[in-house]
Amino acid sequence: MSAVENSSLAELTAVEYLVNFSRIVEEAARLIDSLVNAYVDGNDVHKLYERFIEVKTKAEETKTIVMEYLVKSSEVMRYSRSYIEVVYDFEKIIQHLDGVAYRIVLLKDNNVQLDRELVSTIRVMTNIIRKQRDSLELALSKLTTAPRKIMSDLNEIVKLEEEADDLFRRITFHVYSKLANNLTGLMVLKDIIEYLEDVCDDFRNIGEEVRYLALVRGI
C-alpha cells in the first residue's frame, strides 16, 4: 500500500473515531436536559448525575483510544495535529458539561428555585449545543469524501455560537437581579451559564479546525 493510501486510510479511521466521540458528547448533552427536567419536576437528580459520570468515563476511555491511534498514525497521517486538537476540545466539552451537571445537583441540594426564564435559558443553550454537534457530525461525515460541501455546516456552528453569546449577555443581568439575595444560587447558576457558553465556544473551535482540514484538501 502506498504512503498516500496509508494516509487516506488513517484519516478515514480518525474521522470515524471523532464522529463516535461526538455521539458521546450528544449523550452527555441529553443527560443535561434530563437533569434540568428532573430539577424542575422535583425528581431525583443524583441518579442522573451518576449516569452522567458513566458517560464521562466512557468519554475519557474513548479519548485515550483515539489519542493512541493518532500518535501511532502520525508518521503516515498528514495534519494529525489538527485531529488531536479536536480530541482535546471534545475533552473540554465533556468537562464543561460535567461542571453543568454537578451544579444542577448543587442547586437541588441547596433548594435554589429558578424562575421560568432561567430554566428556559438553560434549555435553549443545551439545544444550541446539540444543534452544533449535529452540524459537526454532518461536516465530519463529508470531510474525506466531499470537503467542498461542509462549509455550510461549519458556518452553522459559528452562527449558533453567536446566538449563544448573545443569549449569555442578555441572561447575565437577569441572573444577578433574580438571585441578588442568594449568593450560593447566584454563583452556581452563573457557573452553569458560563460553562454552557464555553461548550458553544469549544464547538466553534472544533469547527474551525475541521474547516482547516477541509481547506488543506485544496477546496
For the chain, the domains span 3-218
Report which of 93, 91, 89, 71 is spatially closest to residue 14, judged by C-alpha positions: 71
Beta-carbon contacts of 47 under 8 Å, excluding residues fewer than 6 positions away, are none
pLDDT of residue 51: 98
Mean pLDDT over residues 130-146, rounded? 94
Mean pLDDT on 153-176: 91
Residue 171: pLDDT band with limits 50, 70, 90: confident
Which CATH class for the 3-218 domain? mainly alpha
pLDDT at 76 over 90: no
> In angstroms, rounded to a whole number, what is the distance separating the alpha carbons of residues 52 and 55?
5
- State the average pLDDT over residues 165-189: 83
Using DSSP's 3-state secondary structure scheme, residue 204 falls into helix
Q: What is the mean pLDDT of residues 168-184?
A: 82
Using alpha carbons only, how large is the chain's radius of gyration in Å? 19
The pTM of the whole model exceeds 0.85: yes
Q: Judge contact between 25 and 59, C-beta under 8 A.
A: yes
Answer yes or no: is pLDDT of 219 > 70: no
Per-residue confidence (pLDDT) for residue 218, from 0 to 100: 61
Residue 182 has what DSSP assignment? Answer: -
pLDDT > 70 in the chain, percent: 95
